[in-house]
Structure 1
Amino acid sequence: MYRPFKASTDYELLVLLREDNEAAFEEIYRRYFQKLHSLAKRRINNVQHTEDIVHDLFLNLWVSRQKIQIDTLQNYLMRSVKYRVLDELDHQTVKQKFADYQSFTPQISNTTEENILYSDAMKLYEENLVFLPDKCREAFLLSRSGLSQKEIAAKLGISENTVENHIAKALRLLKTRMAEFINPNALFPIFFFLFEK
């Protein structure tokens, strides 16, 4: 297949992308899809979820092409897929903890009410993650996905003490903003276990 921009630099492709050039977008997709897919697959053991993450990243790139601020295309894409993977892992962790909670908690009769509460809690949780500083959010999400503080420190290139401080800061903020959902004495304390250290 003919690729008119195969020899173009990333910078040139970005300029063309902002001018709504679909061929430039296709070249970016061809150039980086496999790299991003491989990066995501290292952490997510689900081919469909991995593909969805990468496709969604490229869709967002196209939709935001005229306003997105990118200095280095490769760094932007790698960083974006990393955060999407962290979000996916965190979402999976929340779902598992909720399932664990349900397994030993008497079921309420109104399952619709429970589902609505869970949906509201998840939305609030994800909204509040945005308020965390980048490193703080990343350390917290990694800790929720099962990594030890030592592993997180090595991954982020920071000290274990800094990791501990980031996690503690995240927990303080989230617990304050989500008190109604994490109180163990509440009617539906579905997020109590998520915020255990």
Structure 2
Amino acid sequence: MEDQQLLQLIGQGDNDAFSKIYKKYWKKLYVMAYNRLKDKKQSKDLVQDLFVTLWERRERLEIESLDSYLYSSVRYGVLKQVASHKITVDFFDALENLPLQASSADTNIVSKELWAAYNDMVGTMPAQRQKIFRMRFEDNMKTKAIAEELNITQKTVQNQLITSSQQIRSLLTIWMIFACLLFGRI
């Protein structure tokens, strides 16, 4: 049975048609998500959510090409997870790997620009917030250790980290998506 016929049946609430679509595409979509996210649970959840959404919206979806729709949905889901994930941690992981992956002058330029953008953003923070941010994310110190060293409460450290993370998240999100696209991770 063709995908379009199955979609019409799904639109009418046919569980068997939905099961056929699920069985046909689940593994391919999971592999696609996993190749980009490198996390089994996130990949599984993303694909499961996609199929739940497909079922919930079955009566009002107008899909011309099911495989294009599903693959685009996975790509969008991956981008959404990258954007909403704790970018600061992933940012440093990706940044550390950039020189190893450098294969062209463009890559070196991107790496330098990314570091410059990061340093500029952190440099705009108030002195104490900047210090707390660097201690946490560059020196990998725990919030309790930072609080003790700076003689402030752990709650103050946490609040400063939340504020600083929010301050740079949008910039890092854009750069991370760009870097992931550039290096074939998305």
Q: TM-score, normalised by structure 2?
A: 0.55
Q: Secondary structure at the match of 2:85?
A: helix
Relative to structure 1, the CA distance from residue 22 to residue 142 in structure 2 (aligned partners, 3 Å threshold; closer, same or farther) is farther
Structure 2 gaps of 5+ residues are: 93-131, 138-142, 148-152
Distance 1:76 1:18 in 2: 15
% identical equivalent positions? 27
* Equivalent position amino acid for 1:40 in 2: A
The offset of 1:143, in angstroms, is 3.2
Q: Output the amino acid matched with 1:144.
A: M
After superposition, what is the alpha-carbon deviation per residue over 1:126-181, rounded to whole angstroms, capped at 9, x for unaligned? xxx9xxxxxxxxxx9563246178x27x999xxxxxxxxxxxxxxxxxxxxxxxxx
Which position in structure 2 is the counterpart of 1:144?
176
**Cα deviation code 1:84-138 (max 9, x no counterpart):** 0111122224352799937169656547x849x67xx6xxx8xxx9xxxxxxxxx
1:67 alignment counterpart: 60
Question: Which among 37, 40, 48 is matched to residue 44 of structure 1?
Answer: 37
- Which structure's residues are more often helix, by fraction? 2
**Which residue of 44, 48, 64 corresponds with 1:55?**
48
Say yes or no: does 1:88 pair with 2:81. yes
Distance in 2 (CA, whole Å) between partners of 1:86 and 1:79 is 11
Q: Who wins on radius of gyration, i.e. which is larger?
A: 2
* Equivalent pair of 1:37/1:54 in contact (CA under 8 Å): yes
Is 1:29–2:56 an aligned residue pair?
Answer: no
Summarize the Cα distance change of 1:76–1:142 in structure 2 as closer, same or farther, 3 Å threshold.
farther
5+ residue gaps, structure 1, are 1-7, 130-139, 157-197
1:15 is aligned to 2:8: yes
Query: Within 1, Cα distance between the matches of 2:56 and 2:65?
Result: 18
Tell me the matched-pair count.
Answer: 131
Aligned structure 1 segments of 4 or more residues deviating by more than 4 angstroms: 97-100, 104-109
Question: Which of 1 and 2 has higher RCO (CA within 8 Å, sep 6+)?
Answer: 2
Structure 1 residues 30 and 148, CA, compared in 2 at 3 Å: closer, same or farther? Answer: closer
Superposition CA RMSD, Å: 4.0
- Could you say if the C-alpha distance between residues 141 and 103 of structure 1 is closer, same or farther in structure 2, counting changes exceeding 3 Å? closer
Counterpart residue identity of residue 76, structure 2: Y
* SS of aligned partner of 1:68: coil
Tell me which moved more, 36-45 or 95-104: 95-104
Distance 1:141 1:21, change over 3 A: farther
Instruction: Specify whether residues 16 and 91 from structure 1 end up closer, same or farther in structure 2 by C-alpha distance, changes over 3 A only.
Output: same
1: distance between equivalents of 2:37 and 2:90?
Answer: 18
